[in-house]
Structure 1
């Protein structure tokens, strides 16, 4: 919280050993320039000292200042400009490395900074050192590292942070606004090229963010496609972490940068982006945008299997919106596309037929042997199992007969084509159905 006038008076009197009456005019000036922000207060007082406006009088053996002189110099009350003045007094090489560090973020590690500085760790540290000595950059690594340790070792990785977010903003302001986009692109490219595949997954957001900042400068179609795939990976990781807004943004960036006629030149990616983005929009509460994307993807789908995938998304969304009948109808339509028709008119007859098929499959094998069943490989049947697993439970309260039919149909698909995770639910339900039929 902002410091009050009496607190700033106390700070000044404790620092310069003056009485409160003498310190009050300076405290008034400080609070007018800083609005009491503690960080700004310290930086302003340090600037007065560095500019020799707050100085020690050796003859009188006390500290002196002249309010009129300070006001005439016109030290800015804009803290960014104040910090820029401090940074511009640093060596040019230090200013350059701070520009790059500011692009990375409020905290950074020496390894990353060396990569984007395109110099060794030792050389990069030497350039960063004046900012560390000025207190603008702080060491944050748990192990820490002394100056000599870094200079004499190629193995030390030290992490740092800017003294304050205003210092980082000032470092960023050292970059010409016209060059900021290009620098982010350069950083993204360097990180992508120099970070190993194993670690790339850990830093996918960092890499994608830099490249996305400079995406409008990318000309090569191959690089655009690679960035689209990178955004798809980042979006999936963000979704897994329930960061749905971030996932949506990555998907939008990725779809946007795909080159050419995306449905002609990059069909699989275009279809995937529309599916994933439809789900992301839904998860962010944007139902109309989600349905619009689903319609586009359905219209562009090249196969019944892909259309069934779209229906499966609708089943999940309708279920979460409590539109159970719409979800069931979507499931029935999707199954029809895959050649599976669940006759709603003659359910008892259909159940008996499916039950007879299941009994025949199970007649010559022990139940325990099912644990050794091969995994299902047929994609169409895998999708059918997903559809039955998602829509089947919705029929339990509306139509017990239809529910039984979905369960036994799934059992038969599993027995014929192999096991999938979705089959576990159906096997458990199958036991319930058998008990009801046999009266046991």
Structure 2
């Protein structure tokens, strides 16, 4: 009821952006057509009200958004509007971005410059971890049972320069290759020569490429195809893209998850695959809809580097074709931006009139939906 009150009769505007909200607040009356400028003002005010509904004097709303360097102009503007809105009380926003990917002309940099005029907005620059912190991390991980600990810390820090993700990947690789191993007494031993001879690459992406190449052919095919599809992917789509049986892919994926490369959106995946011979149609659908997300964007970057541009385009075109043919109208509408992205990335390979028609119609629908959210730059 509180949410409906805060939306002030404009609930359909938010449902257009977050369709699942209709389950909570029910069907809403259509809104009047306005000029682009008036529509944008109405959307921004309604979205601010939507955020305000979740915060109060008794409850602080905390929102964290990562990878803001990839945010489009409309999203950056909306974030700025909400952050600077004094009428939203008890609201704590945390945003993270890579500063080396944001130059002074970037929309995010311009927005941050305006926001930092406020005394209650702080920017915290995250630096690489100092050597003593990496030392504590390593010794804690190895339970303080490692030979020549100071030397090991020196070697690891020299290579990773305090990057914790690189450090984790490096230690894991050393263990997998036997350079770092636990003996019968429980003491971790490491080979000086093995560490010196170990080809680490110059950065974490090079190291990840080496590790991904060590996967078996099917695992590698799944994870690289998934990377081409997007930051996350569903099981059914990838199984169809690589023309493999759904359960065969599902059986292999837990091994990939155990490497730390992917995170499954359903903890019951193992149960479904184990009972695959006696599974209901509902559970088959549920398996197919399980989504997987890359644990770190550098992992996806490493996977993409193993594919050429034509392969990425082909995977995306095939993904778009599959979703158009197999998704319901409601599912297509919900994923319209993703499907449009698939067709756009694969457009260079389009030869059939049906695909060209889909490219045009899907982009038109995506543009209209973006316009409804007043994201006019994205709509164009």
Report the TM-score when normalising by structure 1.
Answer: 0.51
Runs of 4+ with deviation above 6 angstroms: none
Equivalent position SS for 1:201: helix
Matched, 1:117 2:268: no
Q: Give the counterpart of 1:41 among 167, 172, 182.
A: 167
Evaluate the alpha carbon distance shift between residue 14 and residue 218 of structure 1 in structure 2; reply closer, same or farther with a 3 A threshold.
same
Contact 1:9/1:20 (CA < 8 Å) preserved in 2?
no
Contact 1:10/1:20 (CA < 8 Å) preserved in 2?
no
* Equivalent residue runs for 1:264-343 within 5 Å: none
Higher RCO structure, 1 or 2 (CA under 8 Å, sep 6+): 2
Evaluate the alpha carbon distance shift between residue 71 and residue 178 of structure 1 in structure 2; reply closer, same or farther with a 3 A threshold.
farther
Evaluate the alpha carbon distance shift between residue 98 and residue 237 of structure 1 in structure 2; reply closer, same or farther with a 3 A threshold.
same
Equivalent position SS for 1:14: helix
Residues of 1 paired with 2:332 and 2:181: CA distance?
52
Residues of 2 paired with 1:138 and 1:197: CA distance?
28
Q: Find the counterpart in structure 1 of residue 322 from structure 2.
A: 190
* Equivalent residue runs for 1:161-310 within 5 Å: 161-248=293-380
Residues of 2 paired with 1:19 and 1:137: CA distance?
30
Evaluate the alpha carbon distance shift between residue 89 and residue 173 of structure 1 in structure 2; reply closer, same or farther with a 3 A threshold.
same
Residues of 2 paired with 1:212 and 1:81: CA distance?
29
Residues of 2 paired with 1:126 and 1:12: CA distance?
33
Evaluate the alpha carbon distance shift between residue 146 and residue 230 of structure 1 in structure 2; reply closer, same or farther with a 3 A threshold.
closer
Residues of 2 paired with 1:233 and 1:198: CA distance?
13
The count of aligned residue pairs is 245
Evaluate the alpha carbon distance shift between residue 176 and residue 186 of structure 1 in structure 2; reply closer, same or farther with a 3 A threshold.
same
Q: Give the counterpart of 1:24 among 122, 131, 150.
A: 150
Any unmatched runs of 5+ in structure 1? 249-440
Equivalent position SS for 1:156: helix
Q: How far does the alpha carbon of each residue in 1:13-56 deviate from its partner, in whole angstroms, 9 at most, with x for none?
A: 22334489932322222223222222111111111111111122
Residue 197 of structure 1 and its aligned partner are, at CA, apart by: 2.1
Give the structure with higher Rg (CA).
Answer: 1
Q: Which deviates the most, 24-33 or 200-209?
A: 24-33
Any unmatched runs of 5+ in structure 2? 1-125
Residues of 2 paired with 1:228 and 1:100: CA distance?
25
Evaluate the alpha carbon distance shift between residue 18 and residue 128 of structure 1 in structure 2; reply closer, same or farther with a 3 A threshold.
closer
Q: Find the counterpart in structure 2 of residue 103 from structure 1.
A: 228
